[in-house]
Structure 1
Amino acid sequence: MSDVAGAGSLIDVHSHYVPRGWPTLPGPEPRLWLDVRSEREAMMMIGSTEFRRVDERAWDAEARLRDMDADGVDLQVVSPTPVFFSYDLAPADAAGVSRILNDLALEVTAGSDRLLPFCQVPLQDADAACREVERSLSNGHLGVEIGNHVGDRDLDDEGIVTFLQHCASLGVPVFVHPWDMPSTPRSNRWMAQWLAGMPAETHLSVLALILGGVFDRVSTDLRICFAHGGGSFPFWLGRMDNAWRGRPDVIGTSEHPPSHYRDRFCVDSVVFEPAALRLLVDQMGVTQVMVGSDYPYPLGERPVGSVVHAADFLSDAERDQILGANAARWLGLGAPAGDGPESGR
């Protein structure tokens, strides 16, 4: 793997899987199950409602590797599809779902060291989450994907902070994905939950880490990345700093303005336009941005890394950092000399 993750590599930190062998589990309705309709196609179901159509790319390593070869991707992080998180279940039931899903993930990624499995955990219970991430790491998982909230509990919730600190102590990369967007008559049109709700959810949870004082308390060893370019956070960073200075009585408990914490987390590059990527790099620093694709879903980027390749404002060295070196460092795979955080902004 060290050869694959060397200089000039392309690493995709944001893709998802669905195990074709997902069992129909007992539990309260409506529950998640997989309606397998052919060797190459299935429908994810929630009760009797169709949730998402998936094909063999979601579970077949060979299909993934063919697409990776076509796009020039060397390594791909393979994370759960967020609908599996099961944060609404009792902790013991959610722990059971996580164990089954995480074990099936290893079947999806078996046979190729280019596919890097990330686990999920029952985040509603800190102790159970810590146990499951340890079990998964010992079985071959490289990191963990979590949702950006558990009901009304955001990332500054004490239990979630305990889990994040545990990940920092273990050296585990954490990928945060928005999920469970509010369903309202306004947000249920035009895929607005995904087009407006997801960026807002991510923005809110980055704020929770900053204004909730989490980054001031949790070890700097925490390696955490937010999906979809950090949502709307980078665009509104100036507004947040202004509010921190103008309304310190209500803005939160962070020791520094929000812009101070940009080096504490990474974001992926799923922003689709070079102009948006330029804003992202200007605000976050080139060392904090990594390629993501959201593969294999329709709102993802293909070919993987195309917006980075199209960004003519990047130098060759900066492009190489975003394409692979930053991800290699975040994943703990090693990175070429000179790509440390101090060279970013």
Structure 2
Amino acid sequence: MTTGPVDIHAHWLPEDLFPLPPGSPLPPLHGREGQMFLGELPLYIETEAMTDPRRVIADTDAAGLGTRVLSAPPFAFPVADDPGVDDYVGRFNDALAAACRDSGDRLLGLGLVSLHDVDSARAQMNQIAASGVIRGIAVPPLLGSTSFDVAPMRDLLTIASELDLAVLVHPMQLPRPEWSSYYLVNLIGNPVETTTAAASLVLGGVLEALPDLRICMLHGGGCAPALVGRWEHGWKQRADVRSAETQSPREGFAALWFDTLTHDAAALELLRAQSDPTHLMCGSDYPFDMGLPQPLELPHAAGIDDATLERNARKFLGL
């Protein structure tokens, strides 16, 4: 791993995996005239920025970063319980490991796992742990109507903790009819998905059961930093909020990790106030249009220096 700031939140997917995992509810990806499409929906992403490690490294240099940590875009998460998922996951993880090994220490990875099959996921995470260059896994915040406080997602976190693997939680932009316009499915939906997952961790007893778990909530934790006080009040007042016999929500929230991609300096200041400052890391959401080409500008504006960002990311990645 090259010295310098680390971007913990960047996406990559080889073109041969554009058909997406078996059983995916989404249409396949494809490239057209150098641009990516999800079915017929334009993504406003240059195809090579998602697929070509050489382009990724060039953009990493342009952003003033030392290392980028690549994970699959969320539409490549294997959310369907399909027998072909294991093969897709294996192909992605093998390709990711090869891209990282060939990068001259500029790229690291976070792999996929079979979300519905804990036995398969354990075997995949054992391979990830042995790779050296894939430092953990990337997972969605929700699987159907459940999150990390119940099986199977809770089981995946248990295995990751046992194997000392980092966990990155990326929302999937799940559709709801009231979010059908103005890109609200992303602008509201993504932060709400992440917030739901954070609540399941903080209130569901997961952090108490897995004290060594390193799990990162992206986009600055979504809405969660603004709700910690509300969770704390509910925890004090209501037995159902305390039903998992957890520590206080403020203490639980401080155990989570976050990227700095809040899109707003005031929101980042709130995140800093509610979180452990040693758990904040640079994130860009490269190469999506909601990402930042210069992801260091926001943490710099909040007074977070490059050495701190690098040190935190190295700790998160188990380096």
Counterpart of 2:172 in structure 1 is: 179
The residue correspondences of 1:70-149 to structure 2 (distance < 5 A) are 70-90=62-82, 92-112=83-103, 113-139=105-131, 140-149=133-142
Q: Which stretch of structure 1 is more off in the superposition, 54-63 or 248-257?
A: 248-257
Distance apart, 1:321 and its partner CA: 5.0
Contact persistence 1:19–1:108 (CA under 8 A): no
- 1:11 equivalenced with 2:3 (yes/no): no
Counterparts of residues 244-323 of structure 1 (less than 5 Å): 244-311=235-302, 314=303, 318-320=304-306, 322-323=308-309
Please list, as runs of the form range in 1=range in 2, the aligned pairs for 1:197-212 lying within 5 A after superposition: 197-212=189-204
SS at match of 2:45: strand
Report the equivalent of 1:343: none
Structure 2 gaps of 5+ residues are none
SS, match of residue 158 in structure 1: coil
**2:311 matches 1:325:** yes
How big is each residue's C-alpha offset from its partner over 1:237-291, in whole Å with a ceiling of 9 and x where there is no partner?
1111001111124554232220011332101000122211111111103112111
CA-to-partner distance for each residue in 1:195-235, whole Å, 9 max, x for gaps?
Answer: 111111111111111211111212x2211111111111111
- State the distance in 2 between where 1:36 and 1:144 align: 26
TM-score (norm. length: structure 2): 0.92
Q: Percent identity?
A: 30
Offset from partner CA, 1:320-344 (integer Å, 9 cap, x none): 45421100111122xxxxxxxxxxx
Deviation at 1:19?
1.1
Specify the SS of the correspondent of 1:142: strand
Say which SS state the counterpart of residue 264 (structure 1) adopts: coil
Structure 1 241/72 Cα, relative in aligned 2: closer, same or farther at 3 Å? same
TM-superposed deviation, 1:295: 0.5
Distance 1:195 1:210, change over 3 A: same
Q: Give the drift of 1:174.
A: 0.6
Give me the whole-angstrom Cα distance separating, in 2, the residues matched to 1:292 and 1:156: 26
User: Does the 8 Å contact 2:44/2:288 carry over to 1?
Assistant: no
2:230 to 232, 239, 244: 239
Q: Which runs of 5+ in 1 are unaligned?
A: 334-345
The alignment's C-alpha RMSD in Å is: 2.1
How does the TM-score come out when normalised to structure 1?
Answer: 0.85
